[in-house]
Structure 1
Amino acid sequence: MALPPEPPTFKSASPQPKSWTWRLEDADGGVVEITGDLAGESFTSQADAESWVGEFYADLAEQGVHAVSLFEADRFVYGPMSLHP
């Protein structure tokens, strides 16, 4: 005898899409492609994205990033925000 399906309240939530991303920019506003562990990062929330850039801004600057702009999917949120004092 088969058990009935689980009610929706007990099913695990499907993973949230990681829709928050930073556009990494040079001094002229062009896109900078970085390499290594920091490349291609995306986030599930604005807070996660902002925490990440706050933690790694010096590493990004070393790879030629002058400023960053935040996007939620294709929607521009804010920027450019300089990584330099």
Structure 2
Amino acid sequence: MAPVSFRWRYEDETGGSVTGPGVEFATQDEAEEWFGGAWRELGSAGVAQVVLLDGDTEVYGPMSLSAAE
């Protein structure tokens, strides 16, 4: 069985697909650590929300990149 990788799906505010970095991670912790340093840049590039995937399975999300109101 091949190892499953974690990756982010990038979306606009309606859940539509947005192009983003095609990076994959061996663990959820690595994916979350990367996101912690990249979320502002993603938001500036037009990403409104993200979903964390484990292979094709949604782990959680969508998670907004907007500041809390």
TM category (shorter chain) comes to 0.7 to 0.9
Residues 24-63 of structure 1: matches in 2 within 5 Å?
A: 24-34=10-20, 39-63=21-45
Q: Over alpha carbons, which structure has the higher Rg? A: 1
**Higher RCO (C-alpha under 8 Å, 6+ residues apart):** 2
Which structure carries more strand by proportion? 2
What per-residue deviation string (whole Å, max 9, x for no partner) do you get for residues 49-76 of structure 1? 0111111000000110000000100111
Give the 4+ runs in structure 1 shifted more than 6 A. none
Unpaired runs of 5+ residues, structure 2, are: none
CA RMSD of aligned residues (A): 1.5
Find the residue that maps to 1:61 and give its secondary structure: helix
Unpaired runs of 5+ residues, structure 1, are: 1-15
Using structure 1 for the length normalisation, give the TM-score. 0.72
Aligned pairs, number: 66
